[in-house]
Amino acid sequence: MADQPFPIAGSLDVTPPRVREQMTVGEWLHAWVVTVDHKRLGILYIVYAIFFLLVAGAEALAVRIQLARPDNHFLTADVYDRMFTMHGTTMVFLVGMPILFGFGNYLVPIMIGARDMAFPRLNAFSFWLTAFGGLLLYYSFIGGYGLYGMGNAPDVMWLAYAPLTEKAFSPGHTMDYWALSLILSGFGTLGTAINIIATALSMRCRGMTLFRMPLFVWLMLVTSALTLITITPLTAAQIMLVIDRYLGGHFFDTQAGGSAMIWLHFFWIFGHPEVYVLVLPAFGMANEIIPVFSRKAIFGYPAMAAASIGIAFVSTGVWAHHMFTVGMTSVGNTFFVLSTMVVGIPTGIKIFNWLATLWGGKIQFRPPMLFCLAFLFQFLIAGLTGIMLSVAPWNWQLHNSYFVIAHFHYVLVGAIVFCIFAGIYYWYPKAIGRMLDETLAKWHFWLFLIGFHVTFDTMHFAGFLGMPRSIYTYEADRGWGTLNMIVSIGGFIQAIAVLIFAYNLIHSYFRGRIAGNDPWDAWTLEWSTPSPPPVYNFATDPVVHSRRPLWDLKHPEDPDWKYE
Amino acid sequence: MSAIPTFPTAEPWSLPSRGRVAMLSLIIGESAIFTIFVVAYIYYIGKSISGPTPQQVLDIPFFNTVCLLSSSVTIWLSERQIERGNIKAFAALWALTMALGIEFIVGTALEWHKLIYVDGLTIHTNLFGTTFYSLVGLHATHVVVGLLMLTVVMIFTLTGHINIRHTERVQVLALYWHFVDAVWVVVFTVVYIVGR
């Protein structure tokens, strides 16, 4: 860093952090409920998602205990179905989406030098819609049987293939709660996506041209644009399901000429791009963290932005690769095999750019960087098994086997969850003002890494040996017993790691080292504000001249804008 | 502090309107919802296993269509009036737009009344009923929401709260109305021409 006081007096905000007034608990809660501040809403999203992460993790553990031994009866078959359905639905809709949009909420305005989102009240409305959707889904544990008087929950897998979800096959109210909850949280997501697009396009501070925006903002912009055309087909399909269940419609009623296939198409038109909606913000975090801890500017910024748009574009045309085993024409199969393989090109560009950023850098192995490095290797493997599964004949062999489960958990956990952990370690000091404990962080990292590989590497082999997904139990002579025991042990190692992480979040909130404005010596605008930032973010509107405004401030003798 | 960098010359700085960006984003999202319903409608044409069929019961709603499409023209004219600050002309054209929209809803209600009570077609009857009422109903819902928002603007206009400074907000709302009209062109083509 250059030898001068930082931030340079008068150039950026130097307001001291707010003094926390003496409030009663009621006033404090009220302030959080009525808030329209993007930072508070971002934190609410993330806390909400971490809560459901623990819930859905517990559900996964129940599933793993059931499958650890052959002929096991730890859970009844009914409860087992509910557990893995709720695990999947919760992880995708109540953990993945809210946590990533929470990061978007917190970071997008502050990274582009704005004081809030474009529509702060819409922002709060979207959060409470999403939160209410989550509560509605979990209320089905209590209200699922309606007046029958017993608890229940959806038990149709997270993809809820029709006509299993129709009234005739899913009596009671569990599917109603499921559909209504997803419609509601879908509208919440749509509102947030619109808000992020409007913020990124219309709220940028002076000098923040599109090609100077931090890549995280770029990725959130692309994700939100993709969300507009991704989450809405699901909403439409859910409305059809509700029409069928409540008004006696026949959309998915095969008895009256309706089609089960059309649900498959509608669901996967949503379901496949959804993976990219989840993974693109995770890429965005890696884009911010890897350069800072390599002490180099990101390699190939325009290529990164272009590759993100490419991924979003291609991802809308690959959905039927989830349906090879349903039976399609050879033309259909060929199209979806090729379009799926094309995704590998922009993704490969990204991986090479990250490697090139690391290359020759002065790498610092701090907790955020550790998680990002693990992400790089795991995402590569996840991509390679994805290419394997995109080959239709291979897919016919392994679809609906544990190989597929292993593949998508490699993406969702190995890539996305690792990036989310990296993001929390990286931005927690900014949001809270204190550093997370580094020793606990390293325990968390290594245990989670080991647990992850014990679980999901082994799952691939169970899949090769023919173990189908979603089965309640299996006979001892199938030869899957040892593998499943190993998978379950890995699950518990991950659970211990996550508990260490949760403890660290609470412990460091009270005892962590004071972070200061810029603990990582980073380059984007959020690090120029105090930690935590004041409500208005910036006392004076910042002006930027390059992709790394703080580098320019710290190194006036060698600013970036001379080279861009 | 001697080394404060001299920056390149100050560039002019303008950003797109956040209202327009947000409304266009909403329209893209809504288009995806309509696309799914239109695809379902087209997919199920002729797949009903019992009557009545579209040929037997559907009449082409020419007058309704003309009214709804001309409301796009009147709202565009009213946008131009508020740009110039002619609030009276704006209010008159805005009221005309609302009247045309209300006519469309009344027309739809009469059509549905005939279908339900004369032809015995409900959402439960067959696939045609399910897809027809959900697609046309989804569009009618959008018209009703649009009418509610037009009414809010009308109330503000009549109480004297609208002036030239609100041009952009009114135009953003008008974008939504244009979208609703454009969707009708698709729905009309699919339901009354292709599907009949």
CATH code: domain of residue A287: 1.20.210.10
Query: Which of B41, B123, B130, B139 to mutate: most A Cβ within 10 Å?
Result: B130
Contacts with A532 (C-beta within 8 Å, 6 or more apart), sequence order: A17, A18, A39, A430, A431, A432, A433
Residue B35 located in a structural domain: no
CA distance A131 to A438: 32
User: Which among A4, A245, A250 is the top mutation candidate for probing chain B, defined by the most B β-carbons within 10 Å of its own β-carbon?
Assistant: A250
DSSP per-residue letters across A330-392: HHHHHHHHHHHHHTHHHHHHHHHHHHHHHTT------HHHHHHHHHHHHHHHHHHHHHHHHSH
List chain B residues with CB under 8 Å of A247: 123-124
Q: Count CB atoms within 10 A of the CB of residue A302.
A: 8
Pairwise CA distance, residues A483 & A464, whole Å: 11
- Cβ of residue A139 closer than 8 Å to a chain B Cβ: no
Contacts of A75 (CB under 8 A, 6+ apart): A62, A63, A65, A66, A83
Domain assignment present for A13: no
The β-bridge partners of A434 are A514
In the block, which residue shows the tokens 């913020």? A199
Number of domains comprising chain B: 1
Biggest distance spanned by C-alpha atoms of chain A = 77
More confident residue, B154 or A28: B154
- Predicted pLDDT of residue B5: 46
Closest CA to B135 of B53, B195, B176, B64: B195
Say what the pLDDT of residue A143 is.
74
Domain presence at residue A18: no
For A369, list phi and psi in degrees, rounded to 5. -70, -40
pLDDT at B196: 85
- CATH classification at residue B150: 1.20.120.80
Q: Is A316 helix (H, G, I), strand (E, B) or coil?
A: coil
Set of chain B residues whose Cβ sits within 8 Å of the Cβ of A257: 44, 47-49, 126-127
Reported ipTM: 0.92
Q: Is residue A7 part of a domain?
A: no
Question: Which two three-digit tokens encode residue A386?
Answer: 């994805």
Is B41 domain-assigned?
no
187-216 in chain A: CB under 8 A from chain B: 190, 193-195, 197-199, 201-204, 206-207
Q: What angle do CA B19, B25, B29 make, to 5 degrees?
A: 145
Domain for residue A421, yes or no?
yes
Helix, strand and coil content of chain A, in percent to the nearest 5, comes to 70, 0, 30
pLDDT tens sequence for chain A (564 residues): 344 444 444 445 455 544 556 678 888 889 899 999 999 999 999 999 999 999 999 999 999 999 999 999 999 888 899 999 999 999 999 999 999 999 999 999 999 999 999 999 999 999 999 999 999 999 888 876 654 545 588 888 899 998 899 988 888 888 899 999 999 999 999 999 999 999 999 999 999 999 999 999 999 999 999 999 999 999 999 999 999 999 999 999 999 999 999 999 999 999 999 999 999 999 999 999 999 999 999 999 999 999 999 999 999 999 999 999 988 899 999 999 999 999 999 999 999 999 999 999 999 999 999 999 999 999 999 999 999 999 999 999 999 899 999 999 999 999 999 999 999 999 999 999 999 999 999 999 999 999 999 999 999 999 999 999 989 999 999 989 999 999 999 999 999 999 999 999 999 999 999 999 999 999 999 999 998 999 999 988 899 999 999 999 999 888 888 887
Residues of chain B neighbouring A225 (CB-CB closer than 8 A): 25, 28
Q: Which pLDDT score is estimated for B68?
A: 96
Tell me how far apart the alpha carbons of residues B27 and B183 are, in angstroms, rounded to a whole number.
Answer: 10
CB-CB contact of B30 with A232 (8 Å):
yes
Positive/negative CA dihedral, A502, A504, A508, A510: positive
- Contact A8/B4, CB-based, under 8 Å? yes
Q: Is B49 on the interface with A (CB under 8 A)?
A: yes
Question: What is the spatial distance between Cα A409 and Cα A218, in angstroms, rounded to a whole number?
Answer: 25
* pLDDT score at B187: 97
The alpha carbon torsion through A106, A108, A113, A117 (nearest 10 deg) reads -80
Residue-level pLDDT at B73: 97
Partner A contacted by B53 (CB < 8 A): no
Contact B44 A236 (CB under 8 A): no
| Chain A residues near residue B17 by CB distance under 8 angstroms | 202
Q: Secondary structure of chain B: what % helix, strand, coil (to 5)?
A: 75, 0, 25
Tally A–B CB contacts below 8 A: 124
Q: Which two tokens stand for residue B162?
A: 């609208």
Domain membership of residue B165 (yes or no) is yes
Radius of gyration (C-alpha) of chain A in whole angstroms: 24
Indicate yes or no: CB of A204 within 8 angstroms of CB of B17.
Answer: no
Q: Does A300 touch chain B (CB under 8 A)?
A: no
Q: How far is CA A59 from the centre of its chain?
A: 18
* Average pLDDT of chain B to the nearest whole number: 92
- Rounded Cα gap, residues B81 and B61, in angstroms: 31
In a domain, A1, yes or no: no
Q: Do residues A433 and A532 lie in contact, with contact meaning Cβ atoms separated by under 8 Å?
A: yes
Does any domain span residue B88?
A: yes
Percent of chain B with pLDDT over 70: 94
DSSP state of B10: P
- State the first-to-last Cα distance of chain B, in angstroms, to the nearest integer: 77
Q: Looking at residue A2, what is its pLDDT?
A: 41
- Cβ–Cβ of A236/B32 closer than 8 Å? yes
Full residue range of the structural domain in which residue B140 is found: 76-196
Query: Does B123 contact A256 at a Cβ distance shorter than 8 Å?
Result: no
Give the residue from chain A lying closest to B15, CA to CA: A202
Contact A419, A375 (CB under 8 A): yes
Residue A425 lies in a domain: yes
CB contact under 8 A, B40 and A557: no
For tokens 């320019």, name the residue.
Answer: A552
**Residue of A355, A371, A385, A471 lying closest to A427 (CA atoms):** A371
Inspect the interface and report whether the beta carbons of B32 and A228 lie closer than 8 Å: yes
For chain A, positions 225-284, list CB contacts with chain B under 8 A. Answer: 225, 228-233, 235-237, 239-240, 243-244, 247-251, 256-259, 262, 266, 269
pLDDT at B22 over 70: yes
What backbone torsions phi and psi does residue A401 show, to the nearest 5 degrees?
-110, 175
Q: What pLDDT score does B12 carry?
A: 78
Whether A126 has its CB under 8 Å from any CB of chain B: the answer is no
pLDDT at A393: 92
- Cα B95 to Cα B132: distance, rounded to the nearest angstrom: 30
Widest distance between CA atoms in chain B: 87
Count how many domains chain A has.
1
Contacts by residues A516-519 (CB-CB < 8 Å, ≥ 24 positions apart): A517/A6, A517/A7, A518/A6, A518/A550, A519/A429, A519/A435
What's the rounded Cα separation, in Å, for the pair A354 and A33?
40
Beta bridge partners of A514: A434
Contact B18 A118 (CB under 8 A): yes
Taking each helix axis from N to C end, the angle separating A481-511 and A38-68, rounded to the nearest 10 degrees, works out to 150
Contacts of B3 (CB under 8 A, 6+ apart): A556, A557
Task: Examine residue A336 and state whether it is found in any structural domain, yes or no.
Answer: yes
Cα–Cα distance measured from residue A157 to residue B25, given in angstroms and rounded to the nearest whole number: 31
DSSP string for B33-54: HHHHHHHHHHHTTT--SSS--H
Q: Which residues of A touch B175 (CB under 8 A)?
A: none
> What is the pTM for the complete model shown?
0.93
Residue A416 half-sphere exposure toward CB, CA atoms < 13 A: 24
Question: What residues have CB less than 8 Å from B47, skipping those under 6 apart?
Answer: A257, A259, B127
Whether A1 contacts chain B with CB within 8 A = no
User: Distance between alpha carbon B129 and the CA centroid of its chain, in Å?
Assistant: 22
A197 and B47 within 8 Å at the Cβ level: the answer is: no
Name the residue range of residue A31's domain. 25-562
Question: What tokens appear for B60 in the block?
Answer: 């082409």
In a domain, B49, yes or no: no
Residue B35 exposed, middle or buried by CB count within 10 Å (0-12, 13-18, 19+): middle
Looking at residue A563, its amino acid is Y
A561/B11 touch (CB, cutoff 8 Å), yes or no: no
Element (H, E) at B24: helix B18-43
pLDDT at A17: 46
Average pLDDT rounded to a whole number, residues B113-132: 95
- Out of A198, A206, A556, the one facing B25 most closely (by C-beta) is A198
